[in-house]
Structure 1
C-alpha cells in the first residue's frame, strides 16, 4: 500500500527469477497519458533491469482503463506471452463512474489471469486527484509501474 512512508519502487529481491527467456505484454491506457506513460517507463525499465530482452517486451495501447481487460485477454491468449502487465489511471471524479470502472477493471484483470493461468498484473492507479497519481507514477511514492513489473517477475517464479 502506498502511504507517505512507502515507496512503491522498494521491493524485496526474494523470488526474482531469470526472465531473459520470458515474454511480457504491457498494456497501457492512453487516458491520463502523463501518468500512464510514466508507469510504462517504470515497468519497461524494471523488466530490462531484471534481465528481460527488449524484443520480448510487447507494448499495446488501449483508449482507457476499461479496455485493459479485453486487451489483456487477447494478449494472455497468446501462447508465447508469459505475463501481462496492465497499466492505467482512473482518477476519482464527482460521479459513480469511477467506482464502476475501477470495479470492472479489477474484476476483469483478475478473471483473465484465472482464465489463462498466467500472471495478469493490476497496475492501475485509483487516486483521488492528479497529484496523487503523479506521486505514484514516478513521484515521491516511487512508480507503480516498477511494482507491477516486479510483481509479474515474482509471479512467474511462483
Structure 2
C-alpha cells in the first residue's frame, strides 16, 4: 500500500508478545540527522510501549546508510541481540548514487537477517525530497521508526 494512503505509525496488535526479556540493537545513520533522529525517537518509543526495557536497547551510530549493513552484521552476530533495527535516510539526488546505495543497503540488510536467522529490520527512508522524508519521520505520514520497531516486535513474536 502506498505510504500516502496509510500512516506508518498505524499497526495492529497481532503477533505482539511481551518484549521484556528481548534485547534490541538500533543502528542510526548520522547522514540526514534531522530525519534519522526522529526515526530513532519513534522506534525507541514504540519498543518501550511494547514492553522492551530501556537497558535492553542498544544504540549504535554509523556515518551513513551504506554503513548500516556492516554494523547490522556486527550486532546480529552477538547472541544476546534478538533483533536489529536499521534506521537511515537516502534522499534522491541528481546522480545514480541513490540507486546504488539503496540497492546495496536493502540487499545487505536482508543478507544479514538470513545469515544470522534473526530479524534485521529495514527502516531506511528512500524519498525523493527532504519534505517527503520529514513527512515519514514523524510528519503527516507517521514515523517509519515506529513501523520498523513494531516489525521487529512482531517478528520476534512469530
The TM-score with structure 2 as length reference comes to 0.99
Which portions of structure 1, spanning 4 or more consecutive aligned residues, are displaced by more than 4 angstroms? Answer: none
CA distance in 2, matches of 1:111, 1:64: 19
Residues 142 and 2 (structure 1), Cα distance of their counterparts in 2 relative to 1, 3 Å cut? farther
SS at match of 1:28: strand
C-alpha displacement of 1:124: 0.1
Residue 24 of structure 1 is matched in structure 2 by 24
* Counterpart-to-counterpart distance in 1, 2:129 and 2:97: 15
Give the whole-Å Cα distance in 1 for the aligned partners of 2:75 and 2:30. Answer: 17
CA drift of 1:101 comes to: 0.1
Distance 1:3 1:113 in 2: 24
Change in Cα spacing, 1:37 to 1:2, as seen in structure 2 (3 Å) is: farther
Matched position secondary structure for 2:99: helix
Displacement of 1:3 after TM fit? 2.8
Give unpaired runs (5+ residues) of structure 1. none
For 2:146 and 2:17, locate their aligned partners in 1 and report how far apart those are by CA, in whole Å.
Answer: 16
State the shift of 1:30 in Å. 0.1
Could you list the per-position Cα deviations for residues 86-116 of structure 1 after superposition, in whole angstroms to 9, with x for gaps in the alignment? 0000000000000000000000000000000
- Long gaps (5+) in structure 2: none
Partner deviation per Cα, 1:14-56 (whole Å, 9 max, x = no partner): 0001100000000000000000000000000000000000000
Tell me how far apart the structure 2 counterparts of residues 81 and 151 of structure 1 sit (CA, whole Å). 16
Residues of 2 paired with 1:42 and 1:121: CA distance?
14
Say if 1:38 and 1:133 are closer, same or farther in 2 by CA, change over 3 A: same
Q: How far is the alpha carbon of 1:2 from its aligned partner?
A: 4.3
2:2, 2:9 → 1: CA distance?
10
Residue in 2 that maps onto 1:43: 43
- Paired residues for 1:107-126 under 5 Å: 107-126=107-126
- RMSD of equivalent CA atoms: 0.6
> How many residues are matched?
158
TM-score of the aligned structures, taking structure 1 as reference length: 0.99
